[in-house]
Amino acid sequence: MAFKQRVFSGVQPTGNLHLGNYLGAIKRFVELQQTYDCIYCVVDMHAITVPVSVWGGPAELRRATREVTAAYIACGIDPNKHIVFNQSQVAGHAELAWVFNCVARMGWLGRMTQFKEKAGKDRENASVGLFAYPALMAADILVHRATHVPVGEDQKQHLELTRDIAQKFNNDFAESIAANGHEGGFFPLTEPIIQGPGMRIMSLRDGTKKMSKSDASDNSRINLTDDADTIAQKIRRAKTDPDALPSEEAGLEPRPEADNLVGIYAALADTTKAEVLKQFGGGQFSTFKTALADLAVAKLSPIAAEMKRLTADPAHIDAVLAGGSDRAGAIAAETMNAVKDIVGFIRH
């Protein structure tokens, strides 16, 4: 069966969004609107897989859900042409996740590196939801029968699991799928659209660590809500080394901080590191940092201003999510009716 080309992706509403989320994910989501029908989700049910003390409780969850929604819109996602909604408002996500919990094997989920990292040593104390997280993620994607999913490198394994679940469902229920009139499998084998490693944005304090919302130092990241002065100051203070910038990309290899700043410039300017080095190679860091600060402020402060405007009106954001949920819900309901018939759940 030929599946309609459709993009799905999600961002968790935990903590503040930063430059890594923008350049590594949301900027790509915006571009994909040109070529695909897109569904962009705020995955609030994934957010609660960690302890309440970590995700912050109900008020914080609502705040962060609205903030991610505002960021989607402020960065250029059009919630009218495409779909923006929060996961928990479309029951099909949880319903399909249950079916997938019964399709996926313990062994498959036990091999997920993200689970192993997040659960740490005290696995007995991890939530069942943290273990089952990738089955919910597969349900997110497949309840919309999405064919393409833009994700970072760290989510590649979850995408492979999504394909394994789709494949096993298609095999386990092959007869029933055919009997219900679905030719050639029910779920698509979804393709990841993986960001190149160049899109990994690293900490401004340590070029070997990913930029992260959980880093204790706020100077390690640029938040999407930072104002112009804060952005410029963080870039000026970013860690560098004493040498001048190299003229060739190879010269960046042993210099993670320089590599990161040049990568950020290239991503913000929609160009390559090689091009950036043609312009700034041989020069001092201070000159480059001034140019980078100007560029970052020019690109990011309109986003921050728009996010501020949007989050000042939570009722408007909630209305966007409600509208998106209705439209996503219609797609999910169609899938769930078919899944129930395929599995043998009686429905009226």
Which residue numbers are catalytic?
Answer: 118, 210, 213
**What are the distances in angstroms from CA 262 to CA 88, 207, 289, 291?**
39, 12, 10, 11
Q: For residues 43 and 302, what is the distance between their CA atoms, to the nearest angstrom? A: 25
- 18 phi and psi, to 5 degrees? -135, 180
Q: Please identify which residue in 68, 151, 235, 266 interacts with ligand TRP, judged by CB under 6 A.
A: 151
User: Interface with ligand TRP includes 8 (CB under 6 A)?
Assistant: yes
User: Interface with ligand TRP includes 45 (CB under 6 A)?
Assistant: no
Q: Please identify which residue in 23, 30, 32, 43 interacts with ligand TRP, judged by CB under 6 A.
A: 43
Instruction: Tell me the one-letter amino acid at 101.
Output: N
User: Interface with ligand TRP includes 40 (CB under 6 A)?
Assistant: no
User: Interface with ligand TRP includes 30 (CB under 6 A)?
Assistant: no
Instruction: Tell me the one-letter amino acid at 183.
Output: E
User: Interface with ligand TRP includes 55 (CB under 6 A)?
Assistant: no
Query: Which one of 8-16, 31-39, 217-225, 242-250 is the stretch in contact with ligand TRP (CB under 6 A)?
Result: 8-16
Rank residues 153 and 306 by Cβ distance to ligand TRP and give the closer one.
153
Query: For residue 46, how far is the Cα from the chain centroid?
Result: 12
DSSP strand E in 131-247: where?
Answer: 148-151, 191-194
Of 116, 151, 153, 152, give the one whose Cα is nearest residue 131. Answer: 116
User: Interface with ligand TRP includes 9 (CB under 6 A)?
Assistant: yes
User: Which secondary-structure segment (H or E) carries 6?
Assistant: strand 6-11
Q: Please identify which residue in 137, 267, 328, 332 interacts with ligand TRP, judged by CB under 6 A.
A: 137
Rank residues 8 and 285 by Cβ distance to ligand TRP and give the closer one.
8
Give the number of residues in contact with ligand TRP, rule: CB under 6 A. Answer: 12
Local structure of 79: helix, strand or coil: coil
Contact 244, 283 (CB under 8 A): yes
Q: For residues 233 and 289, what is the distance between their CA atoms, to the nearest angstrom? A: 10
Q: Please identify which residue in 6, 7, 12, 40 interacts with ligand TRP, judged by CB under 6 A.
A: 12
Query: Minimum Å distance from CB 9 to ligand TRP?
Result: 4
Query: Minimum Å distance from CB 219 to ligand TRP?
Result: 24
Query: Minimum Å distance from CB 343 to ligand TRP?
Result: 22
Query: Which one of 7-15, 120-128, 251-259, 277-285 is the stretch in contact with ligand TRP (CB under 6 A)?
Result: 7-15
Kindly report the CA angle at 57 between 51 and 63, in degrees rounded to 5?
Answer: 130
- 185 phi and psi, to 5 degrees? 95, 150
Contact 194, 185 (CB under 8 A): no
User: Interface with ligand TRP includes 155 (CB under 6 A)?
Assistant: yes
User: Interface with ligand TRP includes 204 (CB under 6 A)?
Assistant: no
The count of residues in the chain is 348
User: Interface with ligand TRP includes 141 (CB under 6 A)?
Assistant: yes
Contact 163, 150 (CB under 8 A): no
Query: Minimum Å distance from CB 154 to ligand TRP?
Result: 7
Site string for ligand TRP, 272-301 (x = CB under 6 A): ------------------------------
Query: Which one of 9-17, 176-184, 312-320, 331-339 is the stretch in contact with ligand TRP (CB under 6 A)?
Result: 9-17
Local structure of 305: helix, strand or coil: helix
For the beta sheet containing 6-11, the strands, ordered from the edge strand earlier in sequence to the opposite edge, are 83-86, 37-42, 6-11, 148-151, 191-194
Q: Please identify which residue in 10, 24, 79, 246 interacts with ligand TRP, judged by CB under 6 A.
A: 10
Binding site for ligand TRP (CB under 6 A): 8-10, 12, 43, 46, 137, 140-141, 149, 151, 155
